[in-house]
Amino acid sequence: MTDNALVWRPAEDGCGTATTAALSQTPANRYRSPAFQARLRRRYRSEAWFRILGALSIGFAALVLVVLLGSIVARGYTAFIQAQVRLEVAFDPQVIDPTGGRDPVVLSQANYLQLVRRALYAQFPDVQGRTDQRQLNDLVSVGAAYIVRDLVLRHPDLIGTTTAVWLPTSDDVDQFLKGAIPCGATLAERQAGAACPVAEVERRISDRQVGWIDALTKRGLLEQTFNTILFTAGDSREPELAGIWGSVVGSFLTMIICLVLSVPTGVAAAVYLEEFAPKTRFTDLIEVNINNLAAVPSIVFGLLGLSVFLNVFGLPRSAPVVGGIVLALMTLPVVIIAGRSALKAVPPSIREAALGVGASPHQVMLHHVLPLAAPGILTGTIIGMARALGETAPLLMIGMVAFIVDIPGSFTDSATVMPVQIYMWSDSPERAFTERVSAAILILLGFLVVMNGTAIYLRKKFERRW
Question: With contact defined as beta carbons under 8 Å apart, do 168 and 143 qualify?
Answer: yes
| Dist. CA 103–CA 98, nearest whole Å | 10
Q: Is the dihedral of CA 304, 306, 309, 312 positive or negative?
A: negative
Closest CA to 271 of 171, 377, 196: 377
pLDDT digits (tens, 9 = 90+) for 104-151: 899 999 999 999 999 999 999 998 888 889 999 999 998 899 999 999
* Average pLDDT score, the chain: 87
The pLDDT score that the predictor gives to residue 225 is: 92
Phi, psi of 89 (to 5 degrees): -90, 125
pLDDT digits (tens, 9 = 90+) for 201-221: 888 888 899 999 999 999 999
| Dist. CA 52–CA 49, nearest whole Å | 5
Burial of 389 (0-12, 13-18, 19+ CB in 10 A): buried
The pLDDT score that the predictor gives to residue 343 is: 92
Residue 26's pLDDT band, with cuts at 50, 70 and 90, is low
Helix axes 245-271, 320-344, angle to 10 degrees: 40
Strand order in the sheet with 81-90: 162-168, 81-90, 222-226
pLDDT digits (tens, 9 = 90+) for 280-339: 889 889 989 998 888 888 889 999 898 999 888 888 888 999 999 999 999 999 999 999
The pLDDT score that the predictor gives to residue 427 is: 85
The pLDDT score that the predictor gives to residue 136 is: 92
Residue 62 predicted with pLDDT over 60: yes
Read out DSSP for 61-112? HHHHHHHHHHHHHHHHGGGGEEEEEEEEEE--HHHH-TT-S--HHHHHTS-H
pLDDT digits (tens, 9 = 90+) for 240-269: 999 999 999 999 999 999 999 999 999 999
| Dist. CA 246–CA 382, nearest whole Å | 23
The pLDDT score that the predictor gives to residue 263 is: 92
The pTM score is 0.82
Residue 18 predicted with pLDDT over 50: no
The pLDDT score that the predictor gives to residue 12 is: 46
pLDDT digits (tens, 9 = 90+) for 163-202: 999 999 999 999 999 988 888 888 788 877 788 888 888 8
The pLDDT score that the predictor gives to residue 393 is: 87
